[in-house]
Structure 1
Amino acid sequence: MEYDVLVGELAARDGEFGLAQAAFERAAEKDPTSGHLQYRLAHLAAQHDEIGRAVALAERGFALNPEDIEGRLFLARLYLVDHRALAVEAVLRGDDGLPVNSDAALLLYQVLLEQGRFQDALRIAKQMQAAEPDFLGAAMAVAAAYESMGRLAEAEAALRGALIQHPNRIVIYSRLARMRRSQGDRAGEVELYREVLQERPGHYGTLVSLGEAQIAQNQIDQAIITYSELAELFPGDLQILRRLASLEFGSGRYEEAAERLRGAVRRHPNHHEFTYSLGQVLRGLGRGDEAVEVFGSIPPSHPLYMEARMQIAVYYEENDQFDRALREIEILRGLRSERLLDFQAAALRARSGDFEGGVALLEAMLVEDPADVEALYQLGVLYGIHKDVDQSLFYMTQVLEHNPQNAQALNYVGYTWVERGENLDRAEELIEQAVRLSPRDGYIADSLGWVYYMRARPLIAGARRNEGMELLEKAIVQLVLAMELTGGDPVVSEHLGDVYFLMDERQRALHYYEEAETMSPRLDEQPLLREKIESLREELDIPLEKSGAWKPQ
């Protein structure tokens, strides 16, 4: 028998399951009273996902030798896998009803906790703690049971008691912090991290957790201080540098972010994530030419190369350098086949004077699929840029024929009708449908506000002025929402100015017109903005240097 067991162990070690099983079965035939051999066969079966067979073999082993504690624990784990919770409990408890040892107690505690039997779990946890006062796991189990029962003060007291037994154990502080965070007590969480840092100054994990908790509380200045300390203590941690620069940039500290990233680029010239971030910060500072140079230094072999060239293209497009933008996009199209790049190339061809080339690129897509909704939509946009409104509406209508739920096409058609002052009722229906489909789209909200404005215009001067004013109030609600959703847009600001002008609130109107002027207005869409500002300044007798005195309350 000993020889068969040796063969079985060697075969199991070498992963020869069939040979190991045969050897242990021979040994079990020779000694049918051996619980150990039954457990060994059960282990082999479990390793090959034969759970039912493993359970049967382990039960036989348990019946033969109930004093084999390791065997009992193995059988309990098999019962867990087989979702037999009551059987787990029975095998883990001895004749006296208590867990057979500390490992059994811990496993039983976990089972009871998962079953929602928190009081029973707490009883087991306290028994473990009484039996082994120095066992940290028992104290943590007591705290978890209290927390599960909603008895949070007792849970924290249990953890504080554990700190007396196990001073400076970070795991206890971490558990306290998680508990406070789960309660939404971010201030308490921050307080706890500061308590840890008094005992262990400069502890990496605690400082990171403190910084993230401060960010969650929108304490960005404090988070920057925390991450600055981390950057000083761990200057080689690139993730910390990126996080700190991101915080500085997000809080408007553009120069600090740029300087930090320049230093990172110098120290880590092959980590082009810093180069890319520096380019983004320089764009935020309005130093586009520098940003283009920085983005251009990222090599083609780097994963961020495509994104960097796209940033260059966007910068050129925003500054009406359409030929340069198109060259960048064409380079990217040569590297990656992507419809969005094709659409952008078509638009840039049109904007750079090759309208027919842009149309041809999109029409080629329709040759392959006449029902290509995206290509139809882009053609509509292209003709809109070309000021061929009828042809633009033709393609947008085709989009809606193929997909009546296309929110962008619904908005485009509705807004175009509003701009023309025609089909206002139907335009409102289309835009309201678009709002239902895309309630978080600020430009659709702007369209709805604009249709209310256009409907109010003929009513204000007549007998239905009150009705018109109600429409203008509705317009303001939508346009303010549009400002929030877009993050600020010159057209939306001008629309707000127009609404207030119609309401005869000239100071408010001038404020929003001037606000629009500070946002790089789109001259093709806002040709009269400058004229409106100058006219109102003259009417209100406001010198240039004193304009914009009114601020919204």
Structure 2
Amino acid sequence: MVIRKTRRATHHTLKTNRQGVREDDGVGNRRRVVGLGPYSVGVIALGALVILAVLVVWGTSRLISSANPVERQFVSIPDLPALSEMPSALVPVLTEADQVLRRSVAESAESGTIAQAAGRLGQIYHANNYGENAALCYELATTKDAENPRWLYLLAVLRQERGENTSVTELLERTVDLAPEYAPAWLKLADNQFKQGLFDRARASYERRLVLAVGDPYASLGLARLALARSEWELAEGYLEGVTKADAFAAVYRLLASVHDHFGHQHEKEAALRRAEGARRFAPAPDPWVTQLLDHNYNVESLLLQVSRYSSVGQNVLAQRTFERAQRLEPNNPEVYVFLGQHVSDATQARQAFQKAVSLAPDHASAHVGLGEMLLRENRPREAEVVLQEAIDLDPELAAAHKNLGLAAAAAGRFQEAVEHVRRAIALSPNTVSFHYSLASVLREAGRRDEAEVELHRILERWPSHPGAELALTALEGSR
């Protein structure tokens, strides 16, 4: 390689050797000439590539940062799920909410407007079990309106359902900062802190919940669990005793029984366990922001499942409200009326519900079974027998139909036929205790006492706590 150097009018050519030695520059100076060997050339080439890559990345980032912010926000809006796979009533509601959000973003609406649209779309997704889509919407809503606690809270609820802890605690802490009077958030925060082992913070959150909801059993139960985690048995006993003064859950009495056992108080332990047997099941604490999601639920099957859950824990007002929504959405769905017949306590209302279901779906075998059972309760065995035979014609493997038809035959005095039907029910569903008890009852009515006693003993062997079997057995033995 030749490097040409000019000093005033004098020109002199320097030949660079490969070792980079000093050479004369023609004016008496000796300089260090850096040799550019093959490795040095490679380094320079690599450096040029690195610089080029940096320039490309820088240019790309400039393009992204200068891109239309509307385009960046659209990335946060989830794609609509397949409309063909969702309830028909949900399609127009979800489509409209999606369009409203996209339009507000495209028109560069105010942040609060975009947040409200994103939050509403999130609620619809959330209520209809599209959790991932709901989370994206809530995240967009919280980005656009960091002062609205509802979107933070609902996002925390979703993440908690997915088993997250740390991010949930952070969201709930922000929620209670913005909405310090919303007691459900304090309870959820306390429970989450407890799971993370943040006991001091959990205690403070439970105590704040108690200030907002005096005598709250959920906060007291949480404080008792905290005390037990620290082996503070007397403190735990005090919290639990306070809860049991009101209508406590079975779980409270069982926990109290464990405390009594620790202290060796066997009489108190047994009393607590007896109270647990008759106490109500644990029910989630009231949470208006979550409950309001029901108004966005368009899935009748999901709504009926919620009705069942509410009913099982004694939340009858919520159960009724949820059922009425399901009925409004699909007034001609026979499953709605079958469900009503199975859960309503009044026999007449139940019969009317099953009759409605049969009128809507004459081939609905379970609806026929329910109707037949209600007719039996109303002491109308002949009508019941006709309906139950129709059920068996529709589905010969329906165990409940055979059991109820057996009871109808027994009411007519046809005991051998009755026994055969009930035994058929047991063959189809051997682990249903009520079928075994029905068989014992039919055998007793038929005067077949020995067989009835055998069946009752069989029940008590498999289900020792059965309430009727022991009494029936005692009555049979006492009448000898």
TM-score of the superposition, structure 2-length normalised?
Answer: 0.36
TM-score of the superposition, structure 1-length normalised?
Answer: 0.31
Q: Compare relative contact order (CA 8 Å, sep 6+) and give the higher one, 1 or 2.
A: 2
State which structure, 1 or 2, has the greater radius of gyration over its C-alpha atoms: 2
Report which of the two has the higher share of helix.
1
